Amino acid sequence: ELKVEQNPLFLSMQEGKNYTIYCNYSTTSDRLYWYRQDPGKSLESLFVLLSNGAVKQEGRLMASLDTKARLSTLHITAAVHDLSATYFCAVDISKRADKLIFGTGTRLQVFP
Amino acid sequence: KAGVTQTPRYLIKTRGQQVTLSCSPISGHRSVSWYQQTPGQGLQFLFEYFSETQRNKGNFPGRFSGRQFSNSRSEMNVSTLELGDSALYLCASSLAFTSGHNEQFFGPGTRLTVL
């Protein structure tokens, strides 16, 4: 059974600090997605990583994928309060983006 | 382009009843997937439809079913509701290509409460 694990599950960090969220998965896949979810809201797509070594950056967030290690990371640079949300990674096991297996989620709280 | 829409947004039912949720995908998207989100189990894949056929199915009991219409709109049905079915049900659509940039776009969700 495919498992997608994220750590940490909860992250409380001060504004201006850097941190990394890790996403490990247990099967071969070269497609991985990162989503953001605000409380009571739906999922917002952040990054689409489609190959080994893929790196995407948007603002203070940068995501990477190492398919050999079955590991993706979401790096936060100089955190700001607006980044407070829950972040999910999701592995695409069908390669058609029609069946995603989600990680446990990382709840990020950024305080002044 | 309009996004994925779901109706209703909120629903309250009692145990034993059944419920039908609706999802309209982004125009041109033929794949519709359904997910259940609960605090305890997280986000879990229910099933996926493409061209009116169920192509993928998650590990949910037969009380959970769905269908897709010729215009790609999809419905999911839950019969004999249980308290544990209380959840946010998310619908997502995609082009379902096997190569190139492809991703799922999620709707706002339907919040189901079973009393």
Q: Which residues of A touch B87 (CB under 8 A)?
A: none
More confident residue, A24 or B101: A24
Question: Given an 8 Å threshold on Cβ–Cβ distance, is A99 in contact with B106?
Answer: no
Quick one: average pLDDT of B64-87? Answer: 97
Please name the residues between 22 and 61 in chain B that touch chain A, using a CB distance below 8 Å. Answer: 31, 33, 35, 42-45, 48, 50, 55-56
Residue A79 buriedness (CB in 10 A; 0-12 / 13-18 / 19+): buried
The band of B1, judged by pLDDT with boundaries at 50, 70 and 90, is low
Among partner residues B42, B104, B109, which is closest to A97 by beta-carbon distance?
B104
Contact yes or no for A100 and B45 at CB 8 A: yes
Average per-residue pLDDT for chain A? 93
Contacts of B43 in chain A (CB under 8 A): 88, 90, 102, 105
Average pLDDT over residues B40-66: 94
Contacts of A35 in chain B (CB under 8 A): 106
| CA angle, B21 then A87 then B20, to 5° | 5
Round to whole Å and give the CA distance between B110 and B5.
10
Burial of B1 (0-12, 13-18, 19+ CB in 10 A): exposed
Output the CA torsion sign for A40, B69, B46, A5.
negative
